[in-house]
Structure formats: structure tokens, C-alpha cells
Amino acid sequence: MKKENRLCFKKGLQHGIPIGLGYLAVSFTLGIAAKNAGMTAFQATVTSLLVNASAGQAAGFTVIAAQGSYLEMAAMILVANARYLLMSCSLSQKLSSDTPFLHRLLIGFDVTDEIFGISMTFPGKLNPFYTYGAILVSVPGWALGTCLGVLSGNVLPANVVSALSVGLYGMFLAIIIPPARRNKIIAALVVTSMLISYLFARLPAFRFLTSGMRIIVLTVALSAAAAVLFPVPDEPQNQNGET
């Protein structure tokens, strides 16, 4: 079993290298956002080591920049990272039933989109050491990119930092454009959410809400409306009850 664990760990390291390189590039923009929110390189790096969630960190930095409350921060992170709850539930089914709780806890620490994807494609039951290997090289890449982003923000002129911060929006566009191109409903919901968000920011009736709270209200309201109006149909089952 120890030999098998070592082999799986090495395989995870190999598969995690491109993920870590991608994280290094993407988290650079998060470092710029952290700099704009007034965070130091140390604070931003520790945040990336402990959180490692692009949307969650970006939302958190937005609340910090807007001087939001701790309650707003907690609610925002919960909403932004809610999808990881579903990923964790799905990933738990991939593990053997006799997998110790400690292994489940450690894997749950870093269930990112990419780590989840390669872990779910692991042949057969998931060996935790495969995921550990991928995490070991991906998390440092994420933290290093964030640190470099903050340091660059300290060195570069203010107008260049402002320009680089646009890269964060490019990251979100890269997330929403592919599914929007494949699904007209998703495309319509994206456009609708942008328009309503703009109205919330401009209408006097909603100015009492902070920017962080507006994002929370809109995220919950629009996602709930989409779930009711456009539910995802259940997968058909065969006679044995399998999908």
C-alpha cells in the first residue's frame, strides 16, 4: 500500500504542475486586487495559502476595499464558495468507504475546480495521496502569484496597477463566456445580472446598501430565480435505478 501511495503521490505531482503554473498566472491579478484593498504581501500570501479560491478571494478583497463588515464578509464568502460544498459531496463518493476522516478533512481543505476535476477522473476509487500531490504543487503557485501581484503593485506606477487590475475581470470573463456560448439561458442570465447590478448601483433607493451587500443580495436573488424558472432536469434512470 505504501508503494501504491508513493506512485499516486508522484502522479498527482505531475498532474498538478500545469495547474500550479496556471494558478501562478491567475492569482497575480488577485495580488493586484489585494494591493488595491490595502493588504500587504504577507497578508495576501497567507490568505491564498488558507483560502485558494479565486471567486471567494476576489469577493473578500472587494468587501475589504469597500470597508464592509465582518458579517458581509462571511455572507459573501459563503455564497461565493457554496459550489465547493457540492463538489466535496461528490468527491466524497469517489473515496473508498474505509477512507479515514483525516484524509477526507485534508482533501476538503483544497477542493478547487481544477483539483476536483483531476481527482474525479482518477481511475477507480480515489487514492488521497494523488490529490495531496496535486495540492502540494498547486497551492504554492497560487500563493506565489498573489505575493508577486502585491509586490508588483508596490513597485509599479498607480496607473499601471489600475490597468493590471482589469485582468481580474478577464479571469471572470474566461469563466462565464464558454458556458454562456453553449447555453442561451446562461447567456441571458449573465446579461440580466449585469444590468440589474448596474441599476442597483445607480438607483437612489438602493444606495443605502454597501457594494458588498448588493452583490450578496443579487447573487442570492438571481440564482434562486434562475433555479425556479429554469430548473435542471433530472438525469433519466434505467430499470436498475442507475443514471
The percent of residues above 70 in pLDDT, for the chain, comes to 84
Helix ranges (DSSP H) in 51-82: 54-65, 70-80
Measure the CA–CA gap between 28 and 171, rounded to whole angstroms: 11
- Model pLDDT, residue 163: 63
The percent of residues above 90 in pLDDT, for the chain, comes to 16
- Model pLDDT, residue 243: 47
Whose grid coordinates read 463588515?
A: 69
- The pTM assigned to this predicted structure is 0.65
**68 to 57, 143, 194, 216: CA distances (angstroms):** 14, 24, 21, 12
Q: Of the given ranges (59-63, 100-104, 126-130), which has the lowest mean pLDDT?
A: 59-63
3-state secondary structure of 209: coil
- Model pLDDT, residue 159: 66
pLDDT in tens, 45-73: 999 998 888 778 888 888 888 888 888 88
Residue 30 has pLDDT above 80, yes or no: yes
Residue 211 has pLDDT above 80, yes or no: no
- Model pLDDT, residue 232: 64
- Model pLDDT, residue 130: 93
Q: What's the whole-number mean pLDDT along residues 15-24?
A: 85
- Model pLDDT, residue 11: 93
Measure the CA–CA gap between 57 and 31, rounded to whole angstroms: 10
Q: How confident is the model at residue 127 (pLDDT cuts 50, 70, 90)?
A: very high
Residue 3 in grid coordinates: 508503494
- Model pLDDT, residue 120: 84
- Based on the number of CB atoms within 10 Å of its own CB, is 110 exposed (0-12), middle (13-18) or buried (19 or more)? buried
- Model pLDDT, residue 144: 93
Measure the CA–CA gap between 189 and 168, rounded to whole angstroms: 21
- Model pLDDT, residue 238: 47
Domain boundaries, the chain: 2-165, 183-231
Cβ atoms of 54 and 174 closer than 8 Å: no
Closest-CA residue to 30 (of 21, 20, 41):
41
Q: How confident is the model at residue 74 (pLDDT cuts 50, 70, 90)?
A: confident
Residue 100 has pLDDT above 80, yes or no: yes
Residue 122 in grid coordinates: 482518477
- Model pLDDT, residue 229: 85
- Model pLDDT, residue 129: 94
- Model pLDDT, residue 87: 81
Sequence-separated contacts (24+) of 121-125 with Cβ below 8 Å:
122/94, 125/94, 125/95, 125/96
* Residues contacting residue 72 through CB under 8 Å, at least 6 positions apart: 63, 210, 212, 213, 216
